[in-house]
Amino acid sequence: MPSITALTPGDYAGECLEPVAYQATGRVALPAGPAAKVTYWWILDGNKWQQQVLDFAASDQPRAQDVTATWSLERTGAGSHTLGLMTEGGPAEPVTREFRFACTDEPGDAKLTFHYLLTPVFHGVCDSSYGLRADGLVTTDREAEVKYRLVIDGKPGPLRSETLRPGVKSKIGDFWYGSARTSGAGVVRLEVLNHNKPFMQEAYTWTCKDRTPGTVEITELWPVAYHGDCVDAPYVTAHGAFAAAPGTEITFRWVTDGDPTTPVTLKVGQSGILEVQAANWDRPERKDGTVVLEVLNHNKPSMQAVYPVTCR
């Protein structure tokens, strides 16, 4: 005798930005008796699927086994549905469970426009994972809750949410970790999953360097590559990291397109790693530039990188 014991999520009314996963649990029961094989199958909206065979051992007690089925529904699946479970040699009609599926979000409400995408240009030591980030500048014609994510080399990242307001240029983005041990390039896509679903997709790069042992070592320098409309002067930044003994005081500065910043002194924490970020700067020339990270004390290491600017 079959039965449906659980259906998750059951009746659904919510967002449909991604397929909604369903899972059903059923039970097939037999009375006491000899060993037996029982064929069962699920039925979704009249379609037979996921047929399997259960093996029951001989027993002088009633017997039962749980069975499961998984599927997903998308926006086109809105409406009423019927799930059934049936066994060969069992009741002539399947046991059934009805449920409703509705999408409450309506795509295309706001018009979102991307103006640029900043992607990492990593230079550094690749003997462990390293953090990377991509950000885009987006505007909206009305207040809108935006659902977005990064897709790194075809692999989607977690879904993020932010409320955008008209007349305000807002930056959205996310981070991920690189793990390649040799230099290379990939593709990062920043995509909005609701409203008019705009996206930007550009390359990012990583260049792996050998370690340069010393009192202070620069383990990372990664400016961002600008890809955008260049209506306003590109507004970029750079990230860096030092490795040194805990407690080491490091005096450093950035040199952006030949313009040095005021030196800063920071102390390395217990991790032995000090991460830093340059203040954002404009690139009114709207062409590639150069950034240098310089240590002004100890063994005085420095690292230089070019940041690309592409106007479309």
Give the pLDDT of residue 106: 64
Q: What is the pLDDT of residues 6-63, one digit of tens each?
A: 999 999 998 887 899 999 999 999 999 999 999 999 999 999 989 999 999 999 999 9
Distance CA 234, CA 213 (A): 35
Higher pLDDT, 232 or 213: 232
- Name the residue ranges covered by the structural domains of the chain: 2-103, 112-311
CATH for the stretch 2-103: 2.60.40.10
Under DSSP, the state recorded for 109 is S
Q: What is the pLDDT of residues 197-229, one digit of tens each?
A: 999 999 999 999 998 888 999 999 999 999 999
Q: What is the pLDDT of residues 121-131, one digit of tens each?
A: 999 999 999 99
Give me the percent of the chain exceeding a pLDDT of 70.
99
Q: What is the pLDDT of residues 77-86, one digit of tens each?
A: 999 999 999 9
Partners of residue 171 on adjacent β-strands: 137
Mean local confidence (pLDDT), 237-266:
97
- The pair of structure tokens assigned to 179 is 């793990």
- The pair of structure tokens assigned to 50 is 């996921």
pLDDT at 107 over 60: no
Q: How many CB atoms lie within 10 A of CB 305?
A: 19
Task: Indicate the pLDDT class of residue 108, thresholds 50, 70 and 90.
Answer: low
Look up the pTM and report it.
0.70
Partners of residue 79 on adjacent β-strands: 101
pLDDT at 257 over 80: yes
pLDDT at 280 over 90: yes
Backbone angles phi, psi at 75, to 5 degrees: -55, -35
Give the pLDDT of residue 213: 82
